[in-house]
Amino acid sequence: MHVSITEMERETYRKSPIHGIDGRIKILMTLAITIYVVALPRMETLNFTKLGILEAYLLLLLLFSKIELSHLAARFLIALPFGLGISILQPFLKQPFLNDFTIMYRLPMGVEVTNEGLLYGAIIFLKFFVCISAVILLSSTTSMSELVASARRLGLPKEMALLFTMMVRYLFVFWNMLGRIRTAQKTRCFEIWNRKVPRKWTLEQIGYTISSLFIRSYEQGERTYQSMLCRGYCADAHVYVDKKKLHITDFAVLAITFGVIIVTHIQAF
């Protein structure tokens, strides 16, 4: 399964009830869910119920967004190794905030698997999964340019808004540049996973690719900055963001999200 960054960005321009929600509302929804999930106790079995309810709500919104499953799977697979790697290590570690541990298995070389570590690792993974689901819902239904504009309307500093605007504008340029480099390598019969060539030589070619892309990015940045200066850019320059009114449906979705969080917190007791 190969999904390019351009194809994933194209999904944000679909027509669906979730895509039509204002970007500011979706940012606030993501922040509210993330803050609540992170604030949950570290060692509590009720977390499974709370996180399950929130994940079901997010999956329902993803279903209404009508996004292709291949694009959702690609986004999840990109982020999954980070949370999964941290969670897998927890059963073998003794958490500093706990005093007593129940040993379930004793492995060679003195490695012990504790019940508390398994519980802590499972809670970390579920927290990570719910937060990633919220972020994927935001990024899959809001274009990058609209995301920056919505953050600016919420009060994002103009310096950060300018940086994000430039990043969004040139991200696809550098992606296409990397694609041309990879095409040139393939025409010369270079394949990263080819086992018939020395691994050291393959790593050297990957290093050359990264350095070439870095140099081209630096040169593009210099040309862009000079062009901005020629057009009157200075420290007092502002990023223009048009005004956009919120509708009743936007407030309704935000109220439903906060309602789900409150009901989840109350009903789980």
Answer whether residue 240 shows pLDDT above 80. Answer: no
Q: How far is Cα 246 from Cα 252, in angstroms, rounded to an integer? A: 11
pTM reported for the whole predicted model: 0.80
The structural domains of the chain, with segments of one domain joined by +, span 5-142+245-267, 155-230
Task: State how far the alpha carbon of 241 is from the alpha carbons of 146, 152, 158, in Å.
Answer: 10, 7, 10
DSSP string of 19-57, one letter each residue: TTS-HHHHHHHHHHHHHHHHHS-SS-THHHHHHHHHHHH
| Alpha helical stretches, state H, the chain | 5-10, 23-39, 46-64, 69-89, 115-141, 144-153, 158-187, 199-230, 248-267
Supply the mean pLDDT for the chain: 84
Answer whether residue 258 shows pLDDT above 90. Answer: yes
pLDDT > 70 fraction of the chain, expressed in percent and rounded: 95
Q: Which helix (H) or strand (E) holds 191?
A: none
Answer whether residue 106 shows pLDDT above 90. Answer: no
Q: Mean pLDDT throughout 168-175?
A: 78
**3 state DSSP class of 113:** strand
Q: How far is Cα 125 from Cα 123, in angstroms, rounded to an integer? A: 5
Q: How far is Cα 113 from Cα 74, in angstroms, rounded to an integer? A: 32
pLDDT digits (tens, 9 = 90+) for 34-90: 999 999 988 888 889 999 999 999 999 999 988 888 888 888 888 888 888 888 888
- For position 102, what pLDDT does the model report? 78
Q: How far is Cα 210 from Cα 178, in angstroms, rounded to an integer? A: 9
Q: How far is Cα 54 from Cα 32, in angstroms, rounded to an integer? A: 11
Picking from 251, 239, 38, 235, the residue whose alpha carbon sits closest to that of residue 156 is: 239
CA atoms within 13 A on the CB side of 130: 28
Q: Mean pLDDT throughout 107-130?
A: 85
